[in-house]
Amino acid sequence: MTTERLPIVDCVSPEPRARGREHGEALRLPIREKIERWQSATAADYGEAPSSFFERLLKETGFRAAIERHTPELMEEVLGIAEGAGIDPETAYAMQLMDEEWWFGRAAHDGHCSGAAIAPSGRDVTAMGQTMDLPAWHDGAQALLKLRGKNGTPSLVFTSAGMIGLMGFSGRGLGICVNTLSGLRSRPDGLPVAFVMRGALARESATDAKRFLVGVPHASGQNYLIGDRWNVFALECSAAGAREVAAQNGRILHTNHPLVSLDLRTDAAASENSKARLSSLHAELCDAQGRTVENIKAALASRREGAAISMERRPDMGQTQLMSIGAVVYEIGGAIRGWVTGGPPSAGAWRELSFG
C-alpha cells in the first residue's frame, strides 16, 4: 500500500451497528482478501488449521464479558462490520483479537511498533506519533476510518480493514498510540487491545483516557501513549493492571520492552532490537533536542543498522514477517493536525489529515 492509495472511509452514522456496516460495505473486498491471507498465515504461524485454532481462541477465552461490560457499543460495531462485509460474525470478532491471538498462539515475534510523545511546554504544543508494524499479510488492507460519536465529535482511526482500529486521534484533541509488550502477562478474561484503544479514544481528555486505562482489565501486555493539549501519559498495561511511565525532559519514548512494569511472563526475554530502537528514538528526539512533528517524522523514518524504526517490505519477504504498514503523527494545540503514511515512513510521503 502507498499513502496515495490509502482509502478514507467516512462512516457518517453515529450509531455503532450502522457505523460498522458502513465500514464493512466500503472495505468488503480488502476485508475478504485479508481474511484469506490471515488464514494462510495462521496455519504457517501456529501449525494448526485456522478453523480449529480460532475455535479454541474463542472458546478458551472470556473476552466477550469484558467487552460487554466496558465497551458494548464496540461489539455492536463489530457485528455491523460483519453485516456490511458479508462475513461470519465470529470471524469478524476473531479479527479484532490481534494481540490476543499472538499470545494465545505463542507467536514467534515480540512486536515492533515504536512510539514517541513530546509534552506541551511554553509555546511548544503536544506532538506524538508511532509506526504500526505488523505481519506483511496486513499490507493492502490499510485504511483510515472517519468516525463520529453520538455527540458528533469526529475521530480519525488508522486500521487494518475489518478491525475497529489500531491507533487514532479525535476532534476534541486526544491522540492515542500503542505498542505491544509481549513480555508482560496476559489474562483470558480481560479487555482486548482494539477495544481498549477505541474505548480510551472516546474519552474527553488524556486524563479521562488514563482513568479508563487504569480501570479496565487488560487482556494483553500493551503500552498506551495518550496525549491532549495539556498532558501526555504512557501506561504499560498487563494482567496486573497499569503502570505509568514518567516523562523524561518532556518526552516519552517507547518500543516493545517494559520500562516500569514488573508483571513479566515467566518466559519473558529482553529484546535487543527493541532496546536498540529505543536508543535510536533517544538519538533523534533527546540527544538532538527535537520537539516538533517534523522531528518525530524523521525519527519514525529512521533506519539505523540493527535498530530500524521503519521496516520496509522486501521483495523476498514472507507474509508472516513484520513490516511497517503505516505511521501516524499528531500535533495537538490550538489546532489539531495529523499526518499518516500508508506504508513504511522511510519509503513514502506523509499525507496531512483534517476533520473537515
Structure letter (DSSP) for residue 5:
G
Structure letter (DSSP) for residue 51:
H
Q: Whose CA is closest to 118, among 261, 291, 272?
A: 291
The per-residue pLDDT for 355 is 79
Phi, then psi, of 5 in degrees rounded to 5: -95, 0
Cα 78 to Cα 23: distance, rounded to the nearest angstrom: 10
The per-residue pLDDT for 125 is 95
Cα angle value 209/211/215 (rounded, 5°): 115
pTM score over 0.85: yes
Q: What are the distances in angstroms from CA 289 to CA 118, 251, 356?
A: 11, 10, 33
User: Which segments of the chain belong to CATH 3.60.60.10?
Assistant: 115-353
Contact 6, 351 (CB under 8 A): yes
CATH assignment of 115-353?
3.60.60.10
Phi, then psi, of 331 in degrees rounded to 5: -125, 120
Q: Whose CA is closest to 136, among 324, 290, 335?
A: 324
Residues in CB range of 4: below 8 A, 6 or more apart = 342, 349, 351
Q: Whose CA is closest to 157, among 200, 215, 218?
A: 200
Residues in CB range of 69: below 8 A, 6 or more apart = none
Phi, then psi, of 280 in degrees rounded to 5: -65, -45
C-alpha cell at 259: 520500562
Structure letter (DSSP) for residue 313:
P
Cα 278 to Cα 261: distance, rounded to the nearest angstrom: 17
Contact 340, 146 (CB under 8 A): no
Q: What are the distances in angstroms from CA 350 to CA 37, 159, 355?
A: 27, 16, 17
Element (H, E) at 300: helix 293-300
Element (H, E) at 116: strand 115-118
Q: What is the pLDDT along the chain (356 residues), one digit of tens a residue?
A: 889 999 999 999 999 999 999 999 999 999 999 999 999 999 888 989 999 999 999 999 999 999 999 999 999 999 999 999 999 999 999 999 999 999 999 876 667 899 999 999 988 899 999 999 999 999 999 999 999 987 888 999 999 999 999 999 999 999 999 999 999 999 999 999 999 999 999 999 999 999 999 999 999 999 999 999 999 999 999 999 999 999 999 999 999 999 999 999 988 777 899 999 999 999 999 876 778 999 999 999 999 999 999 999 988 888 889 999 999 999 999 999 999 999 999 998 999 998 76
Question: Count of H helices and E strands in the chain?
Answer: 11, 16
CB atoms within 10 A of CB 270: 11
Cα 111 to Cα 183: distance, rounded to the nearest angstrom: 10
Cα angle value 171/18/34 (rounded, 5°): 90
pLDDT tens, position by position, 61-114: 999 999 999 999 999 999 999 999 999 999 999 999 999 999 999 876 667 899
Q: Whose CA is closest to 313, among 284, 353, 355, 342?
A: 342
